[in-house]
Structure 1
Amino acid sequence: MSEVLENLERNLREQVKCYTELYDLGKSKQKALIENSVQEIDKITAREEQLFPDVKRLEKERLLFTEQIGLELGQAPESLTLVVLAERFPVLQGVHSDLERVIGELQRIHDINTQLLQQSMGIVNFTLGLLMYQEKNTYTHPGRNGKDMDEKLHLLDWRI
């Protein structure tokens, strides 16, 4: 069992490293969003995408290690959360708290970045709305019949 625990702890430490790097990238992305640096956002997003296969691989390994531990303990792997494992095996308590901390930080930075993106999209939509749409006609064109008078006019109306 000790070899499986060592492998699980190593795996969790690698996950902490990946999530820490994702957090650092999230902070950089936040700065780029504030500065409206599209090139920097693209660069950061590309690096994030490079990390996702590693995170996915580590998670699959973690599930295998948990399954092995569950078989040895006679418990269903689904019931062996990291909290349960850390209580049962004190060697995992440190990595458990590290993982919990970094995932919490990552979630907070992700939430902030999501809000920044939503605000940016709102500004873009508002600006496009000003350019492309008017709620009501402010003037009429000579020669239009009454039916055309109710149509909305667009600043970039291709018929003009």
Structure 2
Amino acid sequence: MQDLLERLSEILSQQLVLYNKLLLILSDQRYALPTGNTEDIHEVLTQQETLTLELKALEEARLPIMEKLSQHLQKTPEQLTLMKLAKLVEEPFSTKYRKLSKQVKSITKQIDDRNQDNKYLTDNSLDLINTSLRLFATCNPFGYNDQDLLHLKGKATKFQTTA
């Protein structure tokens, strides 16, 4: 069981490092979105995708460990949170898991907040684009009416067929 507890600590520590990197990337995204610089946005999204895949791999490694620990401790995996695990194991793991649990909660809250900020920026940018498109669609800078446009299309077609 010691090996499982040690491996879980390693995985959680690695996840925290990646969560902190993700938070930095989300901050970069926060500044890239309003500028509309597609290269910067693409770079940020690529970094975010890479980190997400790394986090997924760590999570897939963490889940079987939690499953084995829950069997050892006679708990269901759903019942075994980090805080509950901290209460059930001895030192130094007890203190370590309490600390990791608090850190994970804190960083995930910050990530959620940053995601909400970025969602707001994205939604506003899309609203601006949609408003601009509607404005361009209703704008008629040359003063043509629908009949004039049909007439011009007819001439263009006629010109193309006789040439």
State the TM bucket, normalised to the shorter chain. 0.7 to 0.9
Q: Find the counterpart in structure 2 of residue 111 from structure 1.
A: 116
Deviation of 1:140 after TM superposition, in Å, equals 5.0
> C-alpha separation between the residues in 1 aligned to 2:27 and 2:56?
22
Q: Find the counterpart in structure 2 of residue 123 from structure 1.
A: 128
Gaps of 5+ in 1: 144-157
Q: Find the counterpart in structure 2 of residue 47 from structure 1.
A: 47
SS in 2 for 1:78: coil
Larger Rg: 2
- Which letter maps to 1:23? L
CA RMSD, 1 decimal: 2.4
Normalising by the residue count of structure 2, what TM-score does the alignment of the two structures yield? Answer: 0.79
> C-alpha separation between the residues in 2 aligned to 1:139 and 1:50?
51
Normalising by the residue count of structure 1, what TM-score does the alignment of the two structures yield? Answer: 0.81
More helix by proportion, 1 or 2? 2
Q: Find the counterpart in structure 2 of residue 33 from structure 1.
A: 33
Q: Deviations over 1:19-60 (max 9, x none)?
A: 111100000110111333221111010111111221111111
2:83·2:97 contact (CA, 8 Å) conserved in 1? no
Deviation of 1:98 after TM superposition, in Å, equals 1.1
Change (3 A) 1:142 1:93: closer
1:33·1:41 contact (CA, 8 Å) conserved in 2? yes
- Which letter maps to 2:27? K
Change (3 A) 1:4 1:139: same
1:20·1:102 contact (CA, 8 Å) conserved in 2? yes
Q: Find the counterpart in structure 1 of residue 159 from structure 2.
A: none
> C-alpha separation between the residues in 2 aligned to 1:100 and 1:79?
17
Q: Find the counterpart in structure 1 of residue 19 from structure 2.
A: 19
Change (3 A) 1:133 1:2: same
Aligned residues: 145
> C-alpha separation between the residues in 1 aligned to 2:153 and 2:128?
27
